[in-house]
Chains A and B, each alone.
Chain A
Amino acid sequence: MLSIKDLCVSVDGKPILNGLSLELPAGEVHAVMGPNGAGKSTLSYVLTGRAGYEVTGGQVTLDGQDLLALSPSERAVRGVFLSFQYPMEIPGVPALTFLRTALNAQRKARGEAEIAAPAFLKLVREKAAALKIDFEMLRRALNVGFSGGEKKRMEILQMAILAPRLAILDETDSGLDIDALRIVAEGVNALRAPDRSMLVITHYQRLLDYIRPDRVHVLAGGRIAASGGPELAHALEREGYDRYAEAAA
């Protein structure tokens, strides 16, 4: 599924990732944990192709295909989805319009027929209800004036509708109260599937009480410093990242 080998990335000439390697098999959920500044968000942006992240070495493949050679929208069409830590506001574009445009753009690029309006609305109503999103909110400009929790739920709604192969969740728990966290986590868990992999990027162990990972990786100093089972997250919560930060330095 997703294979990252010796990935080196610089931002403004400054190395952020220094030989990061990670294998994420189909159907698994892996957590990437690490201290602030370890390169967690850089990882999510380089996987999705954001401008300003220069790959200086290594490779990334999805199902054997070179991901780094593709544009951001081509990666999305192949099933890469990022739930943003800070979702952008899209002024003037109703959430429904944005979602339908995205879904149809992906279908068109894959050579599939566009989804008809009634089928689309039915799909959105069903997924929105599960995430306790008021349907009327979807008529408003996407993320404009939405609360932090509403934005995060909108991210998961988009993920549910776009049904990606690889979902990257970047600090999805930040800014969520405990009820919103539960709703979002349930939404994510409902999307676990044998042909879908997830990379859950988080600073805190809290989210992993709700989204149980198959493996936990510690990102420190721009590379994976340790990997283990779910128990590693608890150890990190108790002991902190200090020993990895020191090891990396």
Chain B
Amino acid sequence: MSLARAIATGDLAELPSRRDEDWRWTDLRGLIRAMPPASPASEGPTPPAVFAAETQLRVINGRGPDEVTVGAGETRTLALRFIAASSGTAHVSAIRIVVGEGARLTLLETYEALAGGCLAEADLDIALGAGAALERVVLTADAEDGVLVSTAVVTMGPGARFAQTALSCGGRRQRLETRVSHPGAGAGVRLDGVYLLAARRHADITTVVTHAGLDGATDQLVKGVVQDQARGVFQGRIVVREGADRTDARMGHHALVLSDRAEVDAKPELEIFADDVACAHGNTVGALDEEALFYAAQRGIPEPQARALLTEAFVGEVIDRIEDEGAREVARAWAAGRLRATP
């Protein structure tokens, strides 16, 4: 059951619903009453890219390249733009990304809506060779009435490194899901996210990391800010299989809820079947610190500005972890823009 299958077959019964445990906070079947027509081919002009990169690839209305390969030992920066160009239509895309042995890829992925009300799924199949390094930064800019599901399945060779930061502004429903098969063996995963939601937007950051071998590390920090009637969802699962000893896994999810009608649902899970592991998780959902706000006001900073300052600092901790300097600056500007736009 998936949005992609529902779009491909036109069968609404294929949509994930709240009866599926993994989708209980991101119900699509209750939301979508009729399947929109398939998105047409579109070659129209697209706005300037959000991320600067030597290679720019576009997937427009589900049509684009289906495989990208970075050869062994190469270093590349790639902007991958998923663009919804038609309004009220549906499309699915799938792309395979192969990062060869010892290669380095910075993947700057955007989801852009040029029109409203699209239904889209993008499936990424990402394979990292031994010693390869991938930094993936995902930024969504979907319409308020757009529905988007992005699912990345990541496999890693020994000693590989996968670092991800998902930046979400949400949509009518939006889910960024990442499933990582962690081989242990000195490989490292960083799986971060930021969701900044206003109006009635919804965003769901779901991750599953499965440690299958000795000596693996996973570090996760996800932060969210929700206001108005927005809803943030975080589902993080780290599985440490039998035999995956000496795994070091840390998960943190922290959210600020800035209005009474906004909501955050979080399900952090650690499933540990191995011995001698270091695993920790922390999860907090709360409001801005009133004492810090008073302190800032006492120094002459008006309350809306103080709230923006403290909120930007709150998510800044995640953005600071982005390694690519250009992407980090884009992320910082994105966060500042979203947090200051809506008081």
Contacts and interface: CB of A to CB of B under 8 A. Distances in A.
Nearest to B291: A88
A92 B317 contact: yes
A105 interface: yes
Contacts of A141: 313
B337 to A, nearest CB: 18
A91 interface: yes
B303 A90 contact: no
B297 A73 contact: yes
State the main secondary structure of chain B at its contact with A. helix
B301 to A, nearest CB: 5
B295 A162 contact: no
Nearest to B316: A92
Contact of A73 (B290, B300, B312, B317): B300
B302 A90 contact: no
B295 A90 contact: yes
Contacts of A105: 299-302, 305
Contacts of B292: 88-91
A50 B291 CA distance: 9
B35 interface: no
Contacts of B300: 73, 76-77, 102-103, 105-106, 109, 162
Contacts of B289: 88
Given A73-B303, A101-B305, A90 B297 contact: no
Interface string A85-100: 0011111110000100
A51 interface: yes
A76 B299 CA distance: 6
Contacts of A93: 309-310, 313
Interface string A124-136: 0000000000000
A82 interface: yes
B334 interface: no
A158 interface: yes
A197 interface: no
B314 A91 contact: yes
Contact of A91 (B294, B298, B313): B313
Contacts of B316: 92
A48 interface: yes
Contact of B309 (A50, A71, A101, A106): A101
Interface in B246-286: none
> What band does the interface of chain B fall in when counting residues whose beta carbon is under 8 Å from A?
20 to 34
A73 B295 contact: no
A148 interface: no
A88 B314 contact: no
Contacts of A81: 298-299
A50 B297 CA distance: 9
Contacts of B291: 88
B296 interface: yes
A161 B195 CA distance: 36
B314 A72 contact: no
A72 B294 contact: yes
A20 B261 CA distance: 42
Interface string B40-68: 00000000000000000000000000000
Interface string A5-26: 0000000000000000000000
> What band does the interface of chain A fall in when counting residues whose beta carbon is under 8 Å from B?
20 to 34
A93 B305 CA distance: 13
Nearest to A87: B295
Contacts of A241: none
B299 A162 contact: yes
A210 interface: no
Nearest to B314: A92
A84 interface: yes
Contacts of B294: 50-51, 72, 88
Interface in B116-141: none
A76 B313 contact: no
A155 B44 CA distance: 58
A151 to B, nearest CB: 11
A109 B298 CA distance: 14
Contact of A84 (B295, B297, B312): B295
Contacts of A51: 290, 294
Nearest to B315: A92
A102 B299 contact: yes
Given A51-B290, A101-B305, A76 B297 contact: yes
Contacts of A73: 297-298, 300-303, 306
B313 A72 contact: no
Given A92-B317, A93-B310, A71 B298 contact: no
17 contacts: A71-B297, A71-B302, A73-B297, A73-B298, A73-B301, A73-B306, A87-B295, A88-B291, A88-B292, A90-B295, A92-B312, A101-B309, A105-B300, A105-B301, A106-B299, A109-B302, A141-B313
Interface of B: 289-292, 294-303, 305-306, 309-310, 312-314, 316-317
Given A49-B298, A93-B310, 20 more contacts: A48-B298, A50-B294, A51-B290, A51-B294, A73-B298, A73-B300, A73-B301, A73-B302, A73-B306, A75-B298, A81-B298, A84-B298, A87-B295, A88-B294, A90-B296, A92-B314, A92-B317, A101-B305, A102-B299, A102-B300
